[in-house]
Structures are given as structure tokens and as C-alpha cells.
Structure 1
Amino acid sequence: MTEIRPPKAGKAWLVTEYDRRWPSQVDAAAVDPAMFTVIARTDFDSFGLVAKLVRWGIDAHMGVLFGLANQIVVAQAGLGLVAVIAYGYRIWWLRRPAAGPCRKG
């Protein structure tokens, strides 16, 4: 996916490429609107380890890192969480204190 943001007055065009396949890539370039030359560039290969881990973590969380397989894993994790919460409420409901007047010592 390529995203092109039009510039504000006196600013450069920002062109960003998102490649969601593994290994993911997020490259960006700033283009001078008057001369149509690249004036700045950021390559994903030059990112630090923490920045790459953050990008991959976000992509995994959103279900786009490994395509359909990642989406199935994320959906199963969500359904598992719902099941654990429902089971917790069921246990609480069955073992809740009996209703009635409160007694003091």
C-alpha cells in the first residue's frame, strides 16, 4: 500500500509505503514539489530493533502481519478471552453469597 500526503505551503510531499508481508516494510520519502526530487528518505532496514519490534507488534495485534493465519490466531485469542470471562462470571454466580439480612457478630 502506498500513501501520498499532499504538502502544506512550502513543504514536501510525503510518500509512505506499507508492505504487510513478512518481513514487513515501512519506507518513506519526502519529495520536493518544485523539483520532484527526493530530499529525505527513511528505510525500514535502518530502523533500530525496538522500532522494528513495535511495528511488528502492531501488525500482529491488528492481524495483518501473517495474513489469514494471523487473523485466525487473533480471533481465537479473542474468543478464548470471552470464554474465560464468561466462565469466571458463572463461577462467581454459583458461589456468590446468599441473599438475606446481614448479621453482625
Structure 2
Amino acid sequence: MEEPTTAEDLMRSRFRAFKDADAAWLLHTWHPSTRPASLDLTDNPTWRGLQIVDTVAGGVDDDEGIVEFRATYREPGGGVGVQHERSRFVREDGRWFYVDGDVRD
């Protein structure tokens, strides 16, 4: 994938990576300070849609940003769910990274 130029672009690319079970891209875009050693997506739900709720900074001239989103998914058993998260991003050496997020109800 092409390197995203904004925090929102990175959020959208990470959603696609979760949809495609692309652990390599998720790890590549995760900040080293919070990145897990590995990522197992075998029990990954079927991600359906992404709604951006809010963004704070995270533009092409920023070094930090916040993206709040709601992502809908279907669980393996057939249930439907929503992950609502406010995620933090940083840009270092021209590259955006996901740092962490606060899951909302």
C-alpha cells in the first residue's frame, strides 16, 4: 500500500487491512512504542463499514492527530457489532503511525 499522507488516510488504510486480514500492513503502520510483536487475525470478525465521526489535526502539515471512528462488523457466529474508538496517530520522519485508541461505548 502507498504511505498515507494524513491520519485519516492511515485510519482508512488500517480498516482495509483489518478487512483483508493484512497483519503485515497493520504492524508496519503501528508505532514501535505500542506495536505488538505479532498479530493473529485468524478470529478476525468480518469488517463491514467504516464511519469517521471526528478528526482533530492529523493533516499533511501536522505531526499528531486523532481520528474517532465507528467500524461495523459481523462476528463468526452471525452477530453484528460496532467498534467505536478514538485513535491517536503520530507522524515521524514523514510517516504516520497508529499509537493507541480509547474504545468508546
Report the TM-score, using the length of structure 1 for normalisation: 0.28
Answer 1 or 2: which has greater helix percent.
1
Answer 1 or 2: which has greater strand percent.
2
> If you compute each CA radius of gyration, which structure gives the higher value, 1 or 2?
1
Report the TM-score, using the length of structure 2 for normalisation: 0.28
> Whose relative contact order is higher, 1 or 2, with alpha carbons under 8 Å and at least 6 apart?
2
